[in-house]
Amino acid sequence: MTIILVEFVLYCIVILLIGYHFSKNSKTHSDFLLGGKKLPGWALAFSERATGESAWLLLGYTGFVFTTGLASFWVAAGIGSGIIFAWLVLAKKFMRETDKYNVLTLPDYLAVRFGQKANVIRWLTSILIAGFLMFYVGAQMAGAGKMLFTTFGMSTTTGIILATIVIIVIAFAGGFISVVWTDMIQSIMMLITLVALPIAALIYINTNDLSISQSLADVGGSFNSWFGGLTGFALGVLFFNNFSWFFGFLGGQPQLSARFMALKNDKEANQGSMVAIIWTFLAYGGAFLIGLCAIAMYSQGSFADVEIILPTMILDLFPTWIAGILLAGVLAAIITTADSQLMVVTSSVSEDIIHKAMGIELTEKQLIWISRISVVVFGIVGMVIALVSDSLLYLVVSWAWAGVGCTLSPAILMTFFWNKYSSAGVVATILAGLLSTILWISTPLEGIITSKFTTFFIAAFFGIVFSLLMPDKSQKAETDMTEKAL
């Protein structure tokens, strides 16, 4: 364990040094929040993927596969489809709209685009993002505690505090630029872990005369069925519950959309698309295989917490020095996602609320320092959530995905592709998504049909209805002119 500890310490030092080096490039508030359009597409793609696939993928999803079997494939299918759609259809649109409206954040884009209710949109969107993403940040820090507990027997509390320090320091130092470059390193680390571990596990299974297919059958139930052994309506519910992660990728995750907004040109966007799509196939294929291999290697019920399966497998299958490197990939997933989410919450406070909604005029230096103070404050809030919450990573991230991604995705899609969408429609979309998510996850309804599915369509429905009932003045004027012409 001493070797692994040394590797962990060295890894954290390297990441902090990289963050410090690139912090020198954050000279303006635009640099701090969006990189000043200076970053290459491939780096943004690695960053976007590392940000999107957090400890949830390495710890939460692998544990979900272990307890579900083949039907868990549809989660990966939904996420993969959403990622491909976002990069191929939405990325360039985000890039061009950012340039056209000269904005730095997703809430600011919606506010500027629908100016009649700009401040209401800023406040609502910022509250939505800060409220749900803080639980997401807390989930990452809880993941750090689990991993360090599994690896070193360290108390979960100590692990959470140590991870929080590293996360805050990176985001504090250089903002978006530091986060993207450290993301890039950490994204590669995650990929190495997700590719190397299933290869080693398959070799172990073959060497010890084990069988994944036989193990799936032996577990019983629906483990060896791609559709969970269900038919008819029940099959539809299972499919939508698992595939529904797709809806959160349609532009509504601000920590991901920020990478699209930071793209420089079409060439960089095309380059980023290729990197992101290849990464997704390798990472999700690897995570799915890890869960299946675990079913063959370990008996059900052998883990008090199934979300420690991946670090346990690493320690069981690899020499100590290699295990340390691969476990650093898990820590990488935690750090990169938490940093990106902290930056989103920070930008909502400094840019959307203080600078724009409240209209407080500050110098570039003052705005950067407000952002840095926000990083520390919200980092500590996330740590507290991690310390007091017993919720599973999979569930907490799922709820945040619904509350933010599946609320803002219909708002973004209608903004991009429906010219009758109005400022009242935006407000209705956000309120409906926020309230329906809270209602859904607070009742048994979540156990029937996931809020990731219902939130998207409820938010879209109210957005459409209120846009038709309360069009913006410019839209109403165009309609009146058309009617007169006829």
Q: What is the CATH number of the domain that holds 282?
A: 1.20.1730.10
State the pLDDT at residue 467: 94
Distances (CA, A) of 166 to 11, 54, 171, 199, 297: 11, 16, 9, 31, 34
In a domain, 423, yes or no: no
93 exposure class (CB count in 10 Å sphere: 0-12, 13-18, 19+): middle
State the pLDDT at residue 234: 60
State the pLDDT at residue 303: 78
Full residue range of the structural domain in which residue 372 is found: 2-23+38-389
In a domain, 347, yes or no: yes
State the pLDDT at residue 116: 82
> Other CB atoms closer than 10 Å to residue 151's CB: what's the count?
23
The number of distinct structural domains making up the chain is: 1
Q: Taking the model in full, what pTM does it have?
A: 0.79
Low-confidence ranges of the chain (pLDDT < 50): 477-486
If we measure between CA atoms, which residue out of 351, 270, 344 comes closest to residue 102?
351
In a domain, 449, yes or no: no
In a domain, 211, yes or no: yes
In a domain, 459, yes or no: no
Tokens of 449: 């049909």
If we measure between CA atoms, which residue out of 141, 195, 149, 132 comes closest to residue 382?
141
In a domain, 77, yes or no: yes
pLDDT in tens, 429-443: 999 999 988 888 888
State the pLDDT at residue 342: 76
State the pLDDT at residue 451: 83
CA atoms within 13 A on the CB side of 196: 20
State the pLDDT at residue 283: 93
Scan for tokens 């960053």, then name that residue: 47
State the pLDDT at residue 482: 37
State the pLDDT at residue 26: 54
3-state SS assignment for residue 486: coil
In a domain, 171, yes or no: yes
In a domain, 299, yes or no: yes
